[in-house]
A and B are shown apart, each in its own frame.
Chain A
Amino acid sequence: MAEITAKDALNHDEIRRLRLDARRRYLRDSYVLWRRNPITVVGTLIILTLLLIAAAAPLLATHDPYNQILAERLLPPSADYWFGSDNLGRDIYSRVIHGSRLTLMIAILVAITSGPLGLMIGVVAGYLGGAVDEILMRVADIFLAFPKLILAIAFAAALGAGLENAILAIAIANWPGYARLARAETLAVRNSDYIQAIRVLGAGRLRIMFLHVTPMCLSTLIVRVSLDMGAIILIAAGLGFLGLGAQPPSPEWGLMVSDGRNYIVDQWWVSTLPGTAILIVVLGFNLVGDGLRDILDPHQRQS
């Protein structure tokens, strides 16, 4: 058998180049698949629009969202008040526009708190195993024994009404799902050759868990979080509707629907329009989530 000489093996530069090429190809294929699916494109456009509106809210609003002109309360949609005015004489359109910032903020904050938290707990539980795993997963199971909305309501009520508490409450309701997912990924990855090799090289457990295992779970988790975005927004809106989320006079969409509840018969626009905004945004996230799932499906990629 011939010996493999040093010059036969690939050097670092070549390896890096090959990896970059592979990644570029992956991204390009993803883009093609994305573009092919009109539903995903629509969803992405909705989300981009949301981001745009949130960023440019002060520019897009026609009135001050907090300004009450009681003489002009409950006016129907007109040239002046594009979405009409609410029971305190505020312009609903401007409130919806500004409310987009709240919606986005809630979604992002919940994602960046519950995501990493769940990830860490899941990786630790999956990698260390034993008693640690049992305890952590029992705790997660207990949380998962409650429907998410009810758990969020419970914690929001316990912590007291308010936007920050609501975000915390939803995050508490959310992390167990991610922990379970991260744990499953960790278990799958734990005995892979790659991790074994690093262990042989003498890396400590903490290092392995955070520098090596965690990145491997990252992609699955990110997908799951994006798929959940729609649900998170619905829960947040639910809390707002019940008065447990953002407090008046915040232009939070769920709260706005609740405000208009008593006027639904004759002044339908007060409740209906903010609710439609919720619908469109959640729809956008769900469409993108669906498309994301399709793009990442290995069957599709092969064609």
Chain B
Amino acid sequence: MGNYLLKRLATLGITVAGIAVVTFFLSLVVPLDPLAAIAGPQAPQETVDRLRVLYGFDQPMYVQFFRYLERLIQGDLGTSFQTGRPVLDDIIQFFPATLELATVAMVIAIGFGIPLGVLSAVYRNSLLDHLSRIISLIGVSMPVFWLGLVLMLVFYFKLGWLPEPGRLDIMLIEPPRITGMLMVDSAIALDWVVFWDALRHAVLPATVLGLFGLAGIARIARSSMLDVLSQEYIKTARIKGLSEFMVILRHGLPNALVPTVIMIGLTYGSLLEGAVLTETIFSWPGLGRYLTTAFLTLDLNAIVGGTMLVAISYSLVNLLVDLLYAYLNPKITLAYADG
């Protein structure tokens, strides 16, 4: 197990190095001249030239690359063209917002997905089952941006049940920043007004973001529960005289949860993708929106820095999921292997 972990970490290291290379070369493929974009169409040539020297674009390729690596190791991700601040600062500013959104989305996805899937399996072919399967299928077929618009239309514009796009009401003041996550910080500061408002603002984007994951989790929960319920040990539990409820709770659920947990880990990846589009629609000041704007304005440093962060965290989560699977697996596969 330890060996496996080391091997995976080494692979991760190589992958991260590769990511750095890829993102660097990505910025070189850009056909447009970003300097002209920054300086503006009116800028005289000297300005552009000075910018070129300032940002180091006058150096030959390999020099640029090594300077890039150098700075990377020191944690310097360069300066963003659009905000004018160091990219690292931007990331630290925006990442917690995405983390908060993703967490609420996960809670929704798991909190509704698992019960839906489990009940679907237990009451197979009932109305609930059919409905949840249809919802799951539709859930993974929906364009995220469209769903966001539709829900915003219904719940904000027409019904007024949920607040406007954004993290917090304009009138309210943010609590002192500890983690950057509004709900956590306001809870620490015992500022419940802000907490409640932040929660209300997060509900809609988190639902949109989480729906895809919910559908996936419900499907896996259902199929793995169905699989588990057909196993011999479920019959044993009934023979022992347990009530159906206890059979499902004590013997069915823990075993069905194993593949579901794996799915939950994989859902994180879909959250990252969805965040990009969701944050754009809901004007959520998170990493997704930052990255999208960076791509659209060809803010190279921001692109490189942001993409690397996304890739690294995605890889880390995948690694965790693999490790989790390896840990949970011997128990399961060995039992089936002898059967």
Tell me if B248 counts as interface (CB < 8 A to partner A).
no
- If A157-B298, A238-B144 touch, whether A265 touches B307 (CB-CB below 8 Å) is no
**Tally of contacts, chain A with chain B, CB under 8 A:** 132
Taking CB atoms, residues of chain B closer than 8 Å to A282 are 141-143
Q: Is the CB of B277 within 8 A of A241?
A: yes
Total number of A residues with any Cβ neighbor in B under 8 Å: 44
| Cβ distance B298 to chain A, nearest Cβ, rounded Å | 7
A146 close to B143 (CB less than 8 A): no
Binds A, one of B47-55, B72-80, B146-154, B233-241: B146-154
Q: Which residues of A sit under 8 angstroms from B21, Cβ to Cβ?
A: 142
Q: Are A278 and B143 also in contact (CB < 8 A) when A141-B11, A147-B310 are?
A: yes
- Taking chain B's interface residues, is the majority helix, strand, or loop, or is none over half, making it mixed? helix
B172 interface contact, C-beta 8 A:
no
In the complex, which residues of chain B have a beta carbon less than 8 angstroms from the beta carbon of A138? Answer: 14-15, 18
Report Cα–Cα, A268/B277, bound state, in Å. 19
A147 close to B314 (CB less than 8 A):
yes
A246 CB–B CB distance under 8 Å: no
The reply to whether the CB of A174 lies closer than 8 angstroms to some CB of chain B is no
Partner of B19, one of A142, A264, A290: A142
Q: In the complex, which residues of chain B have a beta carbon less than 8 angstroms from the beta carbon of A143?
A: 22
| B41: interface (CB < 8 Å) | no
Contacts of B29 in A (CB 8 A): 158-159
The answer, among A146, A265, A279, for a CB contact under 8 Å with B311, is A146
Is the beta-carbon distance between A257 and B145 smaller than 8 angstroms? yes
Q: Is the CB of A275 within 8 A of B143?
A: yes
A238–B277 CB distance below 8 A:
yes
* A160 and B32 contacting across the interface, CB-CB below 8 Å: yes
Nearest Cβ on chain A to B309's Cβ, whole angstroms: 11
B140 closest partner in A (C-beta): A286
Q: Which of B138, B153, B272, B310 is in CB contact (< 8 Å) with A268?
A: B153
Chain A 224-265 per-residue mask, 1 if CB under 8 angstroms from chain B, else 0: 000000100010011001111000000000100110010011
Residue of B nearest to A283 (CB): B141
B142 to chain A, nearest CB (A): 5
Which residues of chain B come closer than 8 Å to A261, judged between CB atoms? 149, 281
Task: Check A271 for interface membership: any CB of B closer than 8 A.
Answer: yes
Cβ of B211 within 8 Å of any chain A Cβ, yes or no, is no
Smallest beta-carbon distance A146→chain B, Å: 5
A108 beta carbon closer than 8 Å to chain B:
no
Q: Are B272 and A147 in contact (CB under 8 A)?
A: yes
B63 within 8 A of A: no
Q: How far is the CB of B241 from chain A (nearest CB, A)?
A: 32
CA separation between A160 and B27, bound complex, in Å? 12
Which residues on B sit within 8 Å (CB–CB) of A179?
none
Q: Interface stretch among A10-18, A92-100, A118-126, A148-156?
A: A148-156
* Contact code string A173-201 (vs B, CB < 8 Å = 1, else 0): 00000000000000000000000000000
Write out the residue numbers on chain B whose beta carbons fall within 8 Å of the beta carbon of A271: 146, 149
Query: Chain B residues near A237 (CB, 8 Å)?
Result: 143, 145
- Please provide the chain A residues from 129 to 147 with a CB less than 8 Å away from any CB of chain B in the complex: 138-139, 141-143, 145-147
B143 pairs with A153, CB closer than 8 A: no
Minimal Cβ-Cβ distance residue in A for B31:
A160
Q: Are B315 and A264 in contact (CB under 8 A)?
A: no
Instruction: List residues of chain A with CB within 8 A of the CB of B280.
Output: 242
Which residues of chain B come closer than 8 Å to A290, judged between CB atoms? 137
- Min CB gap B87→A, angstroms: 16
Please give the distance in Å from A286's CB to the nearest CB on chain B. 5
Complex interface bits, A272-284 against B, C-beta within 8 A gives 1, otherwise 0: 1001101100110
Beta-carbon contact of B137 and A286 below 8 Å = yes
**Alpha-carbon distance between A244 and B152 when the two chains are bound, in angstroms:** 24
Residues from chain A with a CB closer than 8 A to the CB of B312 are 145
A141's contact among B15, B143, B270, B281, by CB below 8 Å, is which? B15
Which residues from A are CB-within-8-Å of B152?
A: 264
A107 interface residue per 8 A CB criterion: no
In the complex, A264→B14 CA distance in Å?
46
On whether the beta carbons of A157 and B295 are closer than 8 Å, the reply is yes
Residues of A near any B CB (own CB < 8 A) = 138-139, 141-143, 145-150, 153-155, 157-160, 230, 234, 237-238, 241-244, 254, 257-258, 261, 264-265, 268, 271-272, 275-276, 278-279, 282-283, 286-287, 290
Query: Interface on B for A, CB 8 Å cutoff?
Result: 11, 14-15, 18-19, 21-23, 26-27, 29-32, 137-138, 140-146, 149-150, 152-153, 157, 269-270, 272-273, 276-277, 280-281, 291-292, 295-296, 298, 303, 307, 310-312, 314-315, 318
Q: Can you list 15 pairs linking A and B with CB atoms under 8 Å apart?
A: A138-B18, A142-B19, A145-B19, A146-B310, A150-B272, A150-B291, A150-B307, A153-B276, A157-B296, A241-B145, A261-B149, A265-B153, A268-B153, A272-B150, A275-B145
In the complex, the 10 A-B pairs of residues with the closest C-beta atoms, listed nearest first: A275-B146, A142-B18, A157-B295, A149-B273, A283-B141, A282-B141, A147-B273, A158-B29, A145-B311, A145-B315
